[in-house]
Amino acid sequence: MSQPPIPLYGSVGTPYTEKVVAALRLKGLDFTLVEPQRPEDLRRWSPETGLLPAIEFDGERTHDSSAILDRLEARFPEPALLSRDPKMAREQRVADLVGMLGDRPYFYSETLSRADVSVYAALFGMYTNRFPGGRRLVARHPTLLAFCDRVHEAIAR
């Protein structure tokens, strides 16, 4: 018996939903994207934070795109999203942006670059709290929060 499509709750075009869509496609999994129609949908699908995307399979719902990728990797290990080498796998995780940034104000130099605006764009929805509770999640990584503050200030001129 084949598995029914996995429901993915999120909005087309948002970086976090697109990240999960890419992983589902890479793994060859059948899914259905369910977009919110009303604000209540966010709380219904993601009662803890109200943030999307959320995914449901095996009778459990998972929220946060990184947590979803971890769950997909555990349940559907092939093809792998992370290296089998534990050191390399740690380096492939989004939280390692902090490590990549290090003590520099920007990712590759002392001045703003294309890489910086790309990372900022990916974090923008959370940084600006466009998604309720998102800023709190970025603030868990003070280095990334300070980075976003610097980029925001630099482009607001």
Q: pLDDT value at position 46? A: 85
Q: Are residues 59 and 107 in the same domain?
A: no
User: What is d(CA 24, CA 44) in angstroms, rounded to the nearest whole number?
Assistant: 23
* CATH number of the domain where residue 47 is located: 3.40.30.10
Classify residue 69 as exposed, middle or buried by CB count within 10 Å of its CB (0-12, 13-18, 19+): buried
d(CA 36, CA 51): 11
**Whole-number CA gyration radius for the chain:** 17
Residues 52 and 101 both lie in one domain: no
Please tell me the predicted confidence (pLDDT) of residue 53.
92
Report yes or no on whether pTM surpasses 0.75: no
**How many folded domains does the chain comprise?**
2
Domain assignment of residue 82, yes or no: no
Report the percentage of the chain scoring pLDDT > 70.
92
87-119 per-position pLDDT tens digit: 666 556 666 788 788 889 998 888 888 888 878
Q: Does residue 51 lie within any of the structural domains?
A: yes
Does residue 70 share a domain with residue 11?
A: yes
Per the structure, the complete domain to which residue 28 belongs is given by 6-75
Q: Are residues 10 and 68 in the same domain?
A: yes
- Summarised one tens digit per residue, pLDDT across range 40-82 is 888 888 888 778 899 998 889 998 888 898 899 999 999 988 7
Distance CA 11, CA 35 (A): 5
Task: Give yes or no: residues 98 and 63 share one domain.
Answer: no
Residues 19 and 49 in one domain: yes
DSSP 48-103: TT--S-EEEETTEEEESHHHHHHHHHHH--SS-SS-SSHHHHHHHSGGGHHHHHTT
Using the 3D structure, point to which of 75, 107, 133 is the last residue of a domain. Answer: 75
Residue 87 domain-assigned (yes or no) = no
Stretch among 3-7, 90-94, 126-130, 150-154 having the lowest mean pLDDT: 90-94
Planar angle of CA 76, 78, 81, nearest 5 degrees = 90
